[in-house]
Amino acid sequence: MRLSCRLLPKTPALGARTLRLMAGFTLLELLVVMSLMSLLILAMASALQTTSQTSERVDLALTRSDDLRIVSGFLQSTVGRISMQRRGYPYKEGASQFFFEGQESQLTWLGVMPAGYAASGRSLMRLRQEVTEQGSPALMLQYLPFKGASVEPDWSQAVSHVLLSGVTRLQILYQDARPEPPVWSPVWMLADQVPQRVRIVLQTERGPLPDLVVALRPLPASDPRAQGPIFGGSIR
């Protein structure tokens, strides 16, 4: 039995584009797509890393700013309130007659330690830059309880406290307000007076910090210029 050729539908010829679409992507196209995806992922990762680093830097800057504000407030309240108590033990000729020694690398004074410290109240304090036991540089405060004018301080018994970590250099300048204009010097040489102000210059691992200028205000009962009765006991 013969089949008529007209009963068989003719299959249209497939074009080259249709065959290519049915065959899928070529190797070159896959490589191009993968390269573009890699670049996109790399850009996203870089953006995320930049955002993370920026956030960390902002957090570090805020923390550093808070630390500096706390240290500044502490020094303003302690260095700014000094006792003019005269020393009652033998000391080096030409040295200050008060419990005050001003050098370029350290400052020693008698003042009032804020409440909350083991030696709160009148204390001998010394500000200096040191390397901690962990090997990191820091701004250090050493302090001793004041035991009387006739007792020479033993700094080997002092308690040390880190005020600000990362401080690599400390410079202290002292203002003599007698001349006009006032003069700043790295060492305080006047035995019968204390400076009008001190300037504390700090250099850290991340760069210099703003200078801190502290006006020295003698405690009223210890100021030889003060006159009049004192009620409630001596606060020298």
* Residue pLDDT, tens place only, 1-40: 444 445 445 555 545 555 555 556 677 777 888 888 888 8
- Burial class of residue 23 in the structure, from the number of CB atoms within 10 Å of its CB (0-12 exposed, 13-18 middle, 19+ buried): exposed
At 41 the pLDDT is 87
pTM over 0.75: no
CA–CA gap between residue 224 and residue 236 (Å, rounded) = 11
Q: Is 81 helix (H, G, I), strand (E, B) or coil?
A: strand
Overall residue count recorded for the chain in this entry? 236
Rg (CA), the chain: 37
At 1 the pLDDT is 45
**Helix, strand, coil distribution of the chain in percent, nearest 5:** 30, 30, 40
Residue 122 has pLDDT above 60, yes or no: yes
Percent of the chain at pLDDT > 70 equals 74
Q: Give mean pLDDT, residues 93-110.
A: 94
Residue 97 has pLDDT above 50, yes or no: yes
pLDDT in tens, 35-78: 888 888 888 887 777 776 666 655 555 556 677 888 888 999 89
Residue 224 has pLDDT above 60, yes or no: no
Q: Give mean pLDDT, residues 140-149.
A: 93
